[in-house]
A and B are shown apart, each in its own frame.
Chain A
Amino acid sequence: MKIKKEISQSFNFLGRKRINQKEELFSAKILERIDQDIKIQFKYDFSAIYSNVSIDPKLVNSELVLDVFVLGELTRISLDKACSSIDHIISDVPDGANLELRLKIISVDKNLPGRIFAATANKMSLKSKDDGNEDNTNTSSNGILNFDQSDDLNGRLIHVDWTPDSDIKIKIDRIFYEKYKDKSLFRAAVYPDLIRSIAIQLISHHDELDQLDESSSAFDWLKYFSDKLDIPLLGQDSIFHTAEITDAPQAIDTIVETFMSKQWNGEKTILEEFLHGN
């Protein structure tokens, strides 16, 4: 069967819409693990998801599905319009393996086979029942900015390293840190270089990013860029792909520019805060 051939370049989404990853649309968590079987619960608001992407389910011959990937194996779960929650057991999940989820609205029209109308941009992580932190999906920025004070930076303010455990170590000049850490100058002087250095490290290790241990600080920074700056470095909407290495400088600039142009607490950029005070 022939299908319509379309050009799909990096920025051409050809009508595929992005389902926002919001709690009011859907949420997933692990209910229990028995040996290698994991019971997950997926709560969803069918109408709100379709509304979120401005698709009328009455007009489009489609199906809402949840794809679950474990070690490269795909399980597809069909989500019924009449329900708002589904429990599903995923088998053969070794301890330590990630469950990755992607929500899609797909075509079931025989004239549009294999077409996606809408999908989440990134694979979602699950909430563990026992982690004791119901808000853990939104806390990626907490506790990741750890400075190691150093006297050996040879005139630089900061130096960023990637350790074999995928931790991003940030060294900062001790005297500068002690003198300016509480001043707005500190953020204006340090953060652009800091974010650029971290972006360079993540992009330099791009091949490893989808395998990062979730306890590593590299994973936290990856989530920070995705959640807070809306710049994914993985998944379908990643701004960088390893095979397009020449795009790396532009991707790094985009990250720094987005970070520095962001108005923190809805008020001022870091530079504005320094120039005009609080």
Chain B
Amino acid sequence: MEINARILNDDGISAIKRIFSNARVGLASTNIAANFKTDDFTQINNIIYDDKFTIIAPDTMIDPNRIFSNRLELGLYLNSVIDKKSSLSQYENVGFWTWISALYLNQILEQKKSKSEYKLWTDVRYIPHKKLSKLRWYRHLCYLPYHLCSRRPASIAEFFLMMEPYKHSENIEKLWTQDKEFSSSLGVIEVAKELYIDKKTKEYRKKYTGDGPGSAKRLANVIVKQWQMNYDVNMLSRDQVWDLLPKEFDGWKKLSTR
């Protein structure tokens, strides 16, 4: 059942931050995930529907029980419910995107083996900064899928988002943020999907973001950059990109099935 989406006020944002902060007490490093427990979820739920901490977002209904099998589904769904022209669509709307994170928190936190606890990382994954931070904004686990799906065809967004909703992956850090012409070229991304995603299992192939020959990292950071010398990469078709790939990609080509 759909409900009205909400926007956390300053008190609500502070309350969420406090719960996160308490969960991290005693942690030696931000490289270690904190344990987020059932009680913590209860506290979060008590805040996100409370009128003291939230206001109703205009004209936006959302399904709190929706289950997402990957980040792409999350991005596509958020696109279907958030008006791109409204202020809700903006990263700097801290209250809204923190509320969205809190609403789907059990899906954007990875469940530990114990099942009763989840992994909580740094705030930047769940709470936006007030001003867009060039090194941080794309780490927000809900905003990034929304942003990608709102500005790219699903066929491009798919390459970057075929993973569990709680994963901020290397392909965002090493591929999507690295080269604008790589991430915006439909022809390049179509080829990348064929090379690096197993069509049957829908999983990325092993070591595709590594430094080895023909890896996606080399495609984005070296090969496409070289192509930009001579080619209007955004205009290249899938077949043109395929033909241009140097020999180091032959091994990956053999793995692909169109």
Contacts and interface: CB of A to CB of B under 8 A. Distances in A.
A94 B151 contact: no
A74 B189 CA distance: 15
Contacts of B236: 113-114
A76 B91 contact: no
A18 to B, nearest CB: 10
Interface in B214-258: 217-218, 221-222, 225-237, 239-240, 243-244
B221 A95 contact: no
Task: Describe A's contact surface by its main secondary structure.
Answer: loop
A106 B131 CA distance: 36
Q: How large is the interface on A (under 10, 10 to 19, 20 to 34, 35 or more residues)?
A: 35 or more
Q: How large is the interface on B (under 10, 10 to 19, 20 to 34, 35 or more residues)?
A: 35 or more
Q: Sorted from nearest, which 9 A-B pairs have the closest CB atoms?
A: A96-B132, A8-B226, A94-B132, A74-B184, A69-B180, A114-B236, A211-B134, A114-B235, A106-B232
Contact of A8 (B89, B133, B178, B227): B227
Contact of A71 (B147, B211, B240, B243): B147
A117 to B, nearest CB: 9
Task: Describe B's contact surface by its main secondary structure.
Answer: helix
A115 B231 contact: yes
A237 B226 CA distance: 9
Interface string B200-216: 00000000000100000
A118 B116 CA distance: 59
Contacts of A236: 225, 228-229
A244 B151 CA distance: 31
Given A95-B132, A96-B134, A211-B135, A1 B240 contact: yes
B228 A116 contact: yes
A212 B134 CA distance: 8
Given A92-B151, A98-B134, A13 B183 contact: no
Contact of A3 (B152, B180, B226, B244): B244
A266 interface: no
Interface of A: 1-3, 5-6, 8-10, 12-16, 36, 67, 69, 71-74, 76, 92, 94-98, 100, 104, 106-107, 113-116, 119, 207-208, 210-213, 236-238, 241-244
Contacts of A242: 221
Nearest to A236: B228
A116 B132 contact: no
Looking at A72, A94, A95, A207, which has the most chain B CB atoms within 10 Å of its CB?
A72
Contacts of A114: 231-233, 235-237, 240
Interface in B160-204: 176-178, 180-181, 183-184
Contacts of B152: 73
B90 interface: yes
B92 interface: yes
A76 B231 CA distance: 15
Contacts of A208: 135
A238 to B, nearest CB: 8
Given A114-B233, A211-B135, A74 B240 contact: no
